[in-house]
Every structure is written in structure tokens, then in C-alpha cells.
Structure 1
Amino acid sequence: MPYVTVAIQADQPIDLYYEVQGTGKPVVLIHGWPLSGRSWEPQIAPLVDAGFQVITYDRRGFGQSSKPWEGYDYDTLAQDLKALMDELDLKDAAIVGFSMGGGEVARYLGQYGSDRISKAVLASAVPPYLFKTDDNPDGGLEEQDIQQFLDGVSGDRIAFLNDFTKNFFTPKDGKLLVSKPLRLYHREIASFASPKATYDCVKSFAYTDFRDDLKKFDVPTLVIHGDADQIVPFEVSGQRSHDIIADSQLHIIEGGPHGNNVTHAKEFNQALIEFLND
């Protein structure tokens, strides 16, 4: 199985598991919390068929990657992405971040620039800044909201993930849009993540301010978001990112929940591929 060593921590290598499918311009798919690269299954075949080389990887702490005790801040996660990009020598690549993965897209471009990047996509993504503060009154999360996540993950984690996956695929004021077996499949993916990584990443995606990162975007960017997302509401994330990123494109999936790359895969894939081909 392909791995790339991205760091040494406590004298142990930190290895990211990745997969490469197809040929053509590279598209790097960065998964959300608390899943793995497997969550991109509905996108891989359509992208390969459209002539792209698709790279998926498991964030440290998730999937088949190393599960160290530390290193779940966005500076480190963006550094991991850079190590993968450098190891594979990717050029003219598109980077697509779903939910938490949108933070890696933002921090990568903010820290390392666009030398290897041709396009960026923020899908149901957490930027620009979820935590509500005096200078960020439009943030969607308050301390008690974040604490509920942390308590759930540190308590009966599997029960928490069971409820989370229901909300993940259910539009606001709607009904679950996937089969029970498919929902449970995603719950299982999440359940095998490192509990420590699952906990620490809540703090990372909740408290990290990406506003300055977004101002540094200098590549064509697509923001794609469901207007019925009850996990990362469009109004506090996708809309604001679109407003900050100069000349960004916006695609709203009507009735789309958070996991709209699964529930609305055909529309999601069409918007993504049209943007990549533009």
C-alpha cells in the first residue's frame, strides 16, 4: 500500500496513506471530519472518466494513516499536505477540501502559495471562521456548541457518531437522504479514527481563523455548498468564503445537507468537473 512519510514525531514516522487513480491533471481530494479518503467514493470514478488523475489520502489520525498523539492543528495538517504534494511532485493540481478539509486548502494556500496549484475548491467547508467572537459575530459556533462536540467525542463516541452521521446526510427540516447501510458505512469509517485525533480536530476546525488565508487565494476557486446544511451552515461558511475570495465561483445545492457529495453526487460532480475543465 502506498504511504508517504510526512514527519517524524517522538522518533516515530508519521505516514499518510494515499491512493492515485487515473491519469491527467491531478486533483487532490481532502476528506472531512471524522472520515477518511473513502468518503470520496462517489467522486473518484466520474473524475477519472473525465480525464483527471485523482489523489485521495487519509489525514493523520484517520483511516489507514498513522495515528500520533499530537499534530492536529491546521499548520501541521497543511504541512502534511505539502509533504504529500512534494513527494508526488504534483504540478498544476486542483485541491478540493470537503468540510474540515477546506481548512487544509485554505491554510496550504495561505502558507505555501499556489506554485503547485491551479484551482481550489471549498466543498461544505469550514472556512472562513466558525467560532463566534466579538470580531467574528457571524460565526456559527459558540463555546457551548463546541463543548457538546467535545463531550460527545470523549464520552460515548460511537453513539455520538451515530447521531452525527444522521445529521450529516439529513437536510435541515428534512429526512435522511441515504440508506441506513450507507449511513452506517460512514459511521464505521469514523469509528476507526483515532479518538484523540477526532477530539483534537474538533478544536482545530472550530477555533481556527482562516480569513487571512482566504485573502491570499490567487487561483480560480469554486465554493460548493448545500443550502440545507445543518452541520456547517452555508450562511456562516460558504457564503462568507465566497465573499472574501476574489472572483470565486459559487454553486449552491438546493436542499443539500452537509454530505451533499453523496446525497447529490450527480449535481456535485457535474459542478466540480465543469469547474475543473473551465
Structure 2
Amino acid sequence: MPYLKLRDGAELFYKDWGTPSGQIVTFSHGWPLSSDNWENQMVFLADRGYRVIAHDRRGHGRSTQTWDGNNMDTFVDDLQELFEYLNVRDAVMVGHSHGGGEVTHFLGKHGTSRVRKAVLVGAVPPLMVKTSKNAEGTDLSVFDSFRQAMHNDRAQFFLDVPSGPFFGFNRPNAKKSEGLIRSWYQQGMNTSFKSAYDCIKDFSETDFTEDLKKIKIPVLVLHGDDDQVVPLQAAGAKSVKLLPQGKLKIYPGGSHAIHNINIDEVNNDLLEFIRV
């Protein structure tokens, strides 16, 4: 399996699939998952001649479980190293949830010289937590409850999240997938406790407002209007107003994980956006 040794000695696991000379599409996963969460999109695009690259964020999946560095600045610096190592050019970046924050901060901090377009899927920007200037946000007590649930029984918490709000399986008449629940659980439990815990603060309290304003390339924002984790009106609907070239597509009844549930629609939306 391919790994990149980073500047501090940590090893970053990555997948590099498809046609080596093809248009590059990169994927950044959500909390507390890994690159495996993007497999449907990666196979779909790789089968159509694209080169698809996805990594396990440090502390997640198969990457090194570092004690420190579980924050957005470190994550995007890791990604910049990976892009340099793999000579990523003219890419389309795709990020879900926390990974959408990673894409946003990467472009805000490292610029767009390697990237031509981006896609944010159920992404956390501009800011998740409720503040005096962000009344639509989620109260800090909710994220505190996440931290407490991890301390009390991480394994049970990591079953409750995918069994309920993440995929929308708590909705009436939802078609529940035991396989998706188990996959989420496995990915989550493979992430270090410290990284998963620290990243609750990172995805909820990082303010991406200024990053969004800096991104001058086209950005497609995909968001479900029944996203119970990152509500549309507090996230995608606000982000698209800050992006100079943002375009929002709303998925009626869509959950937080539209790329796992509305697979064909998301795949076709990605393909259409990439091709233009």
C-alpha cells in the first residue's frame, strides 16, 4: 500500500487509482472516516479515464496516529506535501463534511495553482458552531455531548451516529443499510481516539469564512436539505454566497451522506461539473 513520509516522520496513506495520465480528481473524507468512504465516486470516475487520488487524514484510517497536529492547518500542509509528491496539477478537489473544510482551507492557505475546480459535499464551512455572529450555527453543547459520548462509550457512539442522523436512517420509511452502518463503524474505530476527539473541535469551531472569499475558481456545493449533521441553511446556503464562483445544488430529502445514499446522482453531478 502506498504511503508518503511527511515532514515530521508521520506516514500518510493514499490511493492513486485510474489512468495515470488522466484528469486528476482528489477526495477528502469526513469525520471520523477514511478514503474508503469515497469508493463509489472513485471507481466511477476511474472507470471513465480519470486519475483519482484520496488520502487517509493523519490519525485516520491507515495513516500514522500522531498525538498532536489534529487541526486544519496541519491537515492542509499534509495535503500540500502529497500534491507535491504526486505532482498534482490542474486538479478538481472534492471534499465531504470535515473534508470539505479541508478543501476550503487548502485553497485559502495554499492557493489554486494546482487546482482548477472544487466540490463541497455536505461541507462544514463557513462555521458550524453557533456564535453571536453565526446565529444559524449549532450550539456548542451539542459538540460537547459528542465529546462526552466518546468518553462514555466511543464504540456505541460510533454505532449510533451512522444508525441515525449521518445517513438519515432515523427518518420514517428510510431504507436502512446495515452494510453502510458497519462500514462507518469500522472506519471510525480505525481512527485514533485522540484524533477523532480533537477533530470535533476542528470541524465545529474552525471559521472558513475568509478562505471561502479567497477561492476564485468554480466551486460546486452539493447539500441535502435534510442534512441533520451539517444543516443546509447554516452551511452550503451560506458558503455559496461567500464563494466568488459558487453554485449550489440542493438534494431534496438528502441526508448528510448524499454521496453514499444518492450515489448515481452525485456521481453524475461530479462528472458533469468536471467535464465542463
Using the size of structure 1 for normalisation, the TM-score is: 0.95
Superposition RMSD in Å: 1.2
> Equivalent residue for 1:208?
206
1:149 equivalent in alignment to 2:146: yes
- After TM superposition, give the deviation of residue 181 of structure 1 in Å: 2.5
Contact persistence 2:216–2:245 (CA under 8 A)? no
> How far apart are residue 218 of structure 1 and its match?
1.1
1:5 aligns with 2:1: no
1:1-278 to structure 2, matched below 5 A, reads 1-8=1-8, 13-23=9-19, 24-139=22-137, 141-166=138-163, 167-170=165-168, 173-278=171-276
- Return the offset for 1:175: 4.4
- Offset, 1:250: 1.3
C-alpha distance in 2 between matches for 1:121 and 1:32: 14
Compute the displacement of 1:185 (Å).
1.9
Gaps of 5+ in 1: none
Runs of 4+ residues deviating >6 angstroms: none
| Partner amino acid, structure 2, of 1:106 | T
Cα deviation, 1:246-266, whole Å, max 9, x if unaligned, reads 221111111111111111000
Q: Gaps spanning 5+ residues in structure 2: where?
A: none
- Cα distance in 2 for partners of 1:180, 1:110 equals 38
Cα distance change, pair 160–218 in 1 and its aligned pair in 2 (3 A): same
Task: Evaluate the alpha carbon distance shift between residue 127 and residue 195 of structure 1 in structure 2; reply closer, same or farther with a 3 A threshold.
Answer: same
Give the length in aligned residue pairs. Answer: 273
